[in-house]
Structure 1
Amino acid sequence: MPRLVIDTDPGVDDAFALALAARSPEVDLAAVTTVFGNVGLDRTTANALGLLALAGRPDVPVAAGAARPLVYPAPHEADYAHGQDGLSGGTARLPAHPHGLHRLGAVDLLAQTLRDSPTPVTLAPIGPLTNIALLMATHPDLRSKIDRLVIMGGALTGGNTTAAAEFNIWADPEAAYRVLVEEDVPTVLVPIDLTYRCAVDGAWLTTLRETGPLGEILESFTPSYRAHYTELLGHDCTILHDAVAVAEAISPGLLTTKRMPVTVQTTGPARGAVIADQRLNVPLSPGYREIDVAVDTDLDGLRNWFLTLLGRTES
């Protein structure tokens, strides 16, 4: 069974992503590591522990990672969308985790998991890429143990945090540049150009709530997030960015990808922007790397796939 590690900053959409992986019979969720991002590291870590306990997977080790970007402090978190606690004020509904944090930090747990795995591991970073950049820098010998990176981040036609930049990449552009451009690991990037198209509406959330206890609690985490996107986009919707990326990590090929050279801007007004060179038949420009970018999926099929997994009883 394929092995999966999620690096995350929960976050409402991260909560859905973790629940999908925890309930999937298709992958072995080997570890979860946390990073600053939607809220601070203490909160993202507590949320990850509680979410795994909620999903019936307290056996999955959790390690805390970077509390800040590699170089410059992040100007702000995303609590305006996720709420002060990251889950629309719903963290009181999370059960206590019976084991707590792993004794190792995130980078060391990532390295240990890769080193000890009998087969290559899929890494799914769905927050800022700081932990992954540090892993690559400190354990270059383990690159061959990574089957692929499935990264939620980036925007090809306009950002959600600045005019050019998506939040996860903007939060640590230097880390993103190192991972997306300087490394040589198979990579799938899932940008917001696609995740916005995978939006779910109020009727979908009602159906989720009726699937069972997990669905009911997940739906209860969405009010702040749903209100943010409803105001932003002008209609009732919730954008499950990270869940879309984890869907591809669980079931390769669920998303349609296109090979593109990409780079990350680390300076100027477009800092944090992912630029994809979509010209035809031109040489690879310096400072770019070819990766797979998710561009399409069966939208209704994906939404139904979410409901099937999230409504699945614990194994």
Structure 2
Amino acid sequence: MTIPLIIDTDPGVDDAFALALAAASPEVDLIGVTTVFGNVSPELTTRNALRVLALLGREDVPVAAGAERPLVHPNPGVSSAHGADGLSGFASTLPEPSRGPDERDAVTLLKDLLEAAERPVTIAPIGPLTNIALLLAAHPGLRHKIERLVVMGGGVRGGNITSVAEFNLWCDPEAARRVLADPEVPVTLVPMDLTTRAAVSVSWLAELASASEIGAKLVGLTPDYLATYRRILGRDVMALHDAVAVAEVVRPGILRVRRFPVDVECSLGPGRGGLLVDERLESARREGIDIAVDTDAADLHRFMLERLGALRVRQ
């Protein structure tokens, strides 16, 4: 039985890989994509999502544009890691989409898909959590229709935008706190600590590029992103943060998790957007969220390569 899946995203290079992994996996039924501000402007995140789905031959999947700004305070800026267009300047190498975004906004599409679903839906928010916070606030009666949220975000040991804050949580800490600190539905959080440890090498990218035309297109989107990680990590590797989260959706348990209570720092000081994880043994684990703490990186890499490498252009 397939897992009905909605991806909430801000493409983004690793978001493109995440969408491709979902499309390549028969275990999931990708029923919708919603977009949010983040790596680039809302206009570009939506356009990029449409282009990636066109590449994958999945233009049947509705795409709805969502939040253009955080819930409370203005967003200080967008990420430079993904290049000016979000795809290392190579968005135009993807097919021109044959259709535009859905007429509904992201929260309305989420509501409609949840209401129509015959069984609970998994949602993978892999950008700022604004759309999900709005959904839970506006439609609390639909919580039972969500199987779980598999969220990419946060850093247990530090951040990538500030010393404490990871990008997705930093973009909208108030929304992140609404979703993570007092969870109304089950949450699996995939933090950057794990996704960075599971970074793929340039040889992995070369193997993917040689596996298929779609693999080569995906790898063609990575130059700016790869250059960022060369600078940050000092090695020829690249973190596919969002694809790691989708891998956990497709193959539950590929990431090992532990339950911890969490909070998100929402002050306007230097700690803003930081993930606060209570790792004390005496903490009430039952009231926390599942945080991915480990994985067999070699197995994860093989799995992603097999799935992405098997993608073929639909005629």
Q: TM-score, normalised by structure 2?
A: 0.97
Deviation at 1:41, TM superposition (A): 0.2
Counterpart in the other structure of 1:92: 92
User: Equivalent residue for 1:240?
Assistant: 240
Asked if 1 retains the 8 angstrom alpha-carbon contact of 2:183 and 2:289, the reply is no
How far is the alpha carbon of 1:283 from its aligned partner?
4.8
Asked whether the equivalents of residues 181 and 289 of structure 1 are also in contact (C-alpha less than 8 Å), the reply is no
Cross-structure match for 1:151: 151
- Alpha-carbon RMSD: 1.2
1:52-201 → structure 2 map (5 Å cutoff): 52-78=53-79, 80-201=80-201
1:114/1:121 contact within 8 Å kept: yes
Instruction: Give 1:18's aligned amino acid.
Output: L
Structure 2 counterpart SS, 1:4: strand
- For structure 1, the residue ranges without an aligned partner over 5 or more in a row are none
**What is the number of equivalent residue pairs in this alignment?**
311
User: What is the TM-score with the length of structure 1 in the denominator?
Assistant: 0.97
Please say if residues 261 and 283 of structure 2, whose CA atoms lie closer than 8 Å, have aligned partners that are also in contact: no
The residue identity in structure 2 corresponding to 1:17 is A
Shift of residue 182, structure 1, vs aligned partner: 2.7
1:264-300 CA-to-partner distances (Å, cap 9, x unmatched) read 010122110111100112457xxx9500000111101
Aligned partners of 1:50 and 1:94 also within 8 Å: yes
Structure 1 runs, 4 residues or longer, greater than 6 Å off: none
Alpha-carbon contact 1:259-1:292 (below 8 Å) kept? yes
- Mapped pair 1:293 → 2:291: yes
TM-fit CA distance, 1:313:
3.7
The one-letter code matched in structure 2 to 1:86 is G
The structural deviation recorded for 1:251 is 1.5
The 1-side partners of 2:261 and 2:195 are apart by 20
Q: Please say if 1:208 is aligned against 2:208.
A: yes
- Indicate how the Cα distance of structure 1 residues 297 and 135 shifts in structure 2: closer, same or farther if over 3 A, else same: same
CA distance in 1 between counterparts of 2:276 and 2:209 reads: 38
CA distance in 2, matches of 1:94, 1:125: 23
Paired residues of 2:261 and 2:284 also in contact (CA < 8 A): no
Q: Among the aligned pairs, what percent are the same residue?
A: 56
**1:66-122 deviation line (CA, Å, top 9, x unaligned):** 0110011111100x2100000001011111222221111100000000000001000
Unaligned runs of 5+ in 2: none
Amino acid in structure 2 at the alignment position of 1:8: T
Contact map agreement 1:262 1:289 (CA 8 A) in 2: no
The answer to whether the Cα contact below 8 Å between 1:174 and 1:266 also exists between their aligned partners in 2 is yes
